[in-house]
């Protein structure tokens, strides 16, 4: 078992096959499912108001979303290397991919891949703005998402160390990703996007959850996440409040125009949120033996709620 900070061997001595596998591992492909699901959610929102499926917009939009998501994975591993090296308690869901701390690849390779993916995403944005959904707004939408994703861990913004990383990611991932899908299909924004607000709350709570195991290493390396800034107890209370808010806002969203069946789909996942919130409130956040479980179910809450909303919007489009 390789511990944080312990180099396995010099990266130059690693075989080509191992280097390729390590590069893929650093991209954390299992997390790409979330980007697919949230982008398709935006497309389903568009279909629910009568838009005809634009396959080119779907495919090019997914290329933009996935390339930005991958860019973020590689750039985070590079810019957070000091925190990952100092982290004594990584989990399956936190602490980075562990590729760089374990010495499988040279750090500069992660940076080069991240830059390449960012350039590719900008190229996709140009194609979208010229040939798919013409207009400078299309390019700006993708460019802003890319800038926020890069600025999460990269200097000079380093949003995750300014108390802004959690909010930024909550707005970017479950907020802007469906917005991209919806806008590329319709050329506008609309009331169905109200459905992202509960997901933003759940994403914020999920980020706090996966920061608990990293707090010691983050503090050592100067990575000032909200959990580091607030302390574990206060962050746990904030997490529970945000989960409650995710469901308390549903009646208001329905009053503003969100279809009731979408709100009902989101509310159907409430027992999982209640159980997760109760565990955190009772102190599970401070128990290392529960960190993997907490991280898994925090992610599952976002994914299952997004899936419930996606199905509700699709059923609504068929019924309509």
Pairwise CA distance, residues 223 & 188, whole Å: 37
Predicted pLDDT of residue 10: 59
- The full set of domain ranges for the chain reads 14-319
Contact, 146 vs 121, CB < 8 A?
Answer: yes
CA distances to 47, 276, 305 from 262, rounded to whole Å, are: 14, 22, 10
Residues with pLDDT less than 70, the chain: 1-14, 319-320
Instruction: Please tell me the predicted confidence (pLDDT) of residue 320.
Output: 58
pLDDT of res. 3? 44
CATH of domain 14-319: 1.10.357.140
Q: C-alpha distances in angstroms, 279 versus 10, 215, 296? A: 42, 19, 13
pLDDT at 1: 34
Instruction: Give CA–CA dist 203/172, Å, rounded.
Output: 10
pLDDT value of position 174: 96
**Of the candidates 263, 290, 288, the residue with the CA atom closest to the CA atom of residue 278:** 290
pLDDT of amino acid 5: 42
Output the pLDDT for position 12: 57
* pLDDT tens-digit series, residues 258-309: 999 999 999 999 999 999 999 999 999 999 999 999 999 999 999 999 999 9
Q: Which residue has the tokens 């096959």?
A: 17
pTM score, whole prediction: 0.93
Q: What is the structure's pLDDT at 11? A: 59
């Amino acid at each position: 078992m390789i511990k944080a900070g312990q180099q396995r061997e010099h990266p130059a001595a690693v075989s080509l096959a191992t280097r390729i596998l390590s590069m893929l591992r650093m991209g954390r492909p299992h997390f790409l499912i979330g980007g697919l699901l949230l982008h398709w959610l935006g497309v389903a929102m568009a279909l629910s108001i009568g838009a005809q499926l634009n396959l080119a917009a779907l495919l090019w939009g997914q290329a933009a979303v996935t390339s930005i998501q991958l860019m973020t994975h590689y750039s985070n591993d590079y810019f957070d290397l000091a925190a990952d090296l100092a982290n004594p308690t990584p989990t399956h869901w936190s602490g980075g991919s562990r590729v760089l701390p374990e010495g499988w690849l040279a750090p500069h390779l992660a940076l080069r891949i991240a830059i390449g993916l960012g350039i590719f995403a900008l190229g996709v944005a140009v194609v979208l703005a010229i040939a798919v959904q013409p207009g400078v707004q299309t390019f700006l939408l993708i460019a802003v998402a890319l800038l926020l994703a890069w600025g999460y861990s990269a200097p000079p913004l380093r949003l995750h160390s300014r108390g802004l990383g959690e909010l930024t990611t909550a707005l970017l991932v479950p907020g802007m990703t469906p917005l991209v899908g919806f806008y590329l299909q319709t050329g506008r924004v609309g009331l169905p996007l109200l459905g992202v607000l509960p997901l933003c709350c759940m994403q914020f709570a999920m980020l706090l959850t996966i920061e608990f195991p990293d707090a010691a290493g983050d503090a050592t390396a100067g990575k000032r996440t909200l959990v580091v800034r607030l302390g574990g107890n206060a962050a746990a209370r904030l997490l529970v409040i945000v989960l409650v808010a995710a469901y308390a806002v549903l009646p208001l969203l329905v009053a503003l125009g969100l279809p009731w069946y979408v709100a009902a789909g989101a509310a159907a996942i409430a027992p999982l949120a209640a159980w997760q919130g109760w565990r955190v409130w009772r102190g599970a956040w401070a128990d290392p033996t529960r960190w993997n479980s907490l991280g898994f179910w925090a992610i599952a809450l976002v994914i299952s709620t997004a899936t419930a909303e996606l199905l509700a919007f699709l059923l609504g489009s068929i019924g309509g």
